[in-house]
Amino acid sequence: MSNRARVLIDCEDAKGLVYHISKVFYDRDLNIDNNREFVDQEKSRFFMRTVVTGDFDAQSLRSELVSVVPEDANVQVIEPQPKKIVLMATKESHCLGDILIRWVAGEFEADIEAVISNRDNLRDLTHRFDIPFVYISSDDKEREAHEKEVLEVLNGLEFDYIVLAKYMRILSADFVHHYPEQIINIHHSFLPAFIGANPYKQAHSRGVKIIGATAHFVTTDLDEGPIISQDVIPVNHRLEWKDMQRAGRDVEKIVLSRALSLVLNDRIFVNGNKTIVF
């Protein structure tokens, strides 16, 4: 019987790591289908992602790998299976719709558990894909009260990641603390430029020649979490900020879907406030 796994290792850098790790695979007669490694020289931190196939037990393979790497190592042996995600949105459909279409087309190895929204606009779109839609109005509610209702729904679901598909509300630190490195956001600017609200207005007022989008993990610092993916498109002086906003929707949805694919395929290591992307 042949199994397949993604082996993720990050640890303090040390001499011979690649040799010792590869020897574990060799001694177990495992085939290395893909391998990438990187050393952060400033932090002396080693990162490695390897895809292996063969006859193995994931738990015993992990134990053997732990025995040949430094004590501080994070070692994961992940046998690929669909991850569970929850999508959160408000009114704009482009990011949500793009994810749903790609999901139906089989581009994402994921199960979408629900779409949660503080507006009712996207209910019909969501139901076309036979996905539960949960509307939790934010009208006339303090942020704390609204987030409490959202958390109650999330507590009833099983999921690996929350994807903010243009969810246009700032999450509190308390909410974010519940899901460290599990919330993925799309920000409609090329961060670190134009943090916060109305980035297209900010970009227009500065006369920028490119606009972009940034997918990142959400932290308690607004729009400053580890960046997963970014892209840009050219603009010029003829465009008003609303024209920039319309043009930017394409790059937003592409960047968010690209970031989601990377996360679902275990290609991301969080390294402080940065990411290593394999």
As annotated, the active-site residues are 223
Neighbours of 91 (CB within 10 A): 12
Alpha helices by DSSP H, listed for the chain, are: 17-27, 58-66, 94-104, 123-127, 143-155, 173-177, 199-206, 241-264
Helix (H, G, I), strand (E, B) or coil at 230: strand
The residue type of 88 is M
Residues 108, 133 contacting (CB under 8 angstroms): no
Distance CA 260, CA 39 (A): 24
Helix axes 241-264, 94-104, angle to 10 degrees: 30
| Contact assessment for residue 88 and residue 163, using Cβ atoms and an 8 Å cutoff | yes
In whole angstroms, how large is the CA radius of gyration of the chain?
A: 21
Contact 89, 129 (CB under 8 A): no
CA atoms 21, 26, 30, 33: torsion sign: positive
